[in-house]
């Protein structure tokens, strides 16, 4: 019996969040990712893309940690996709705490051209809702 060689295995701490985020349909992911990317400062976007390029876990950096910048990212995500709508796609145990790193990974992996025009807040009635209210109890 051969002993397993675990030297080649690499654990990616961001993979859990990325797997959950992948359950959301691509058009919705794009809307949320573009919304977040448009509101992140240029230096934070550069840091995010640098981490991705070097293969370093996004969640390991203080700028994106759960109680640091991650809180602001989660709030930006909620502006486009509410908690209940996200849960409808990701099911058990999925909320923005478990998905926001996936959003950041999506932003880092794509080259999104962002206009630095002033951000205009949209009225709440223009927000997307992907779950029929009759399904919500």
Delimit the domains of the chain by residue range.
15-111
The closest of 70, 87, 72, 84 to 127, measured between CA atoms, is 84
How many of the other CB atoms lie within 10 Å of CB of 69? 20
* Tokens describing residue 22: 């992948």
- Radius of gyration in angstroms for the set of CA atoms belonging to the chain, rounded to a whole number: 17
Q: What is the distance between the alpha carbons of residues 27 and 36, in angstroms, rounded to a whole number?
A: 15
pLDDT, tens digit (0-9, with 9 covering 90-100), for 79-109:
999 988 898 887 766 789 889 999 999 999 9
pLDDT at position 132 over 50: no
pLDDT category of residue 121 using cuts at 50, 70 and 90: low
**Would you state the pLDDT for residue 125?**
43
């Amino acid at each position: 019996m051969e002993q397993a060689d675990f030297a080649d295995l690499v654990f990616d701490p961001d993979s859990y969040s990325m797997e959950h985020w992948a359950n959301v349909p691509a058009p919705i992911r794009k809307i949320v990712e573009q919304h977040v990317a448009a509101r992140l400062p240029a230096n934070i976007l550069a840091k995010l893309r640098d981490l991705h390029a070097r293969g370093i876990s996004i969640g390991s950096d203080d700028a994106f940690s759960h109680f640091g910048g991650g809180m602001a990212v989660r709030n930006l995500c909620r502006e486009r996709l509410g908690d209940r709508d996200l849960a409808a796609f990701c099911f058990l145990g999925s909320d923005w705490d478990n998905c926001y790193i996936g959003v950041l990974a999506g932003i880092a992996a794509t080259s999104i051209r962002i206009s630095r025009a002033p951000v205009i807040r949209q009225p709440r009635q223009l927000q997307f809702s992907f779950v029929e209210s009759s399904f919500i109890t």
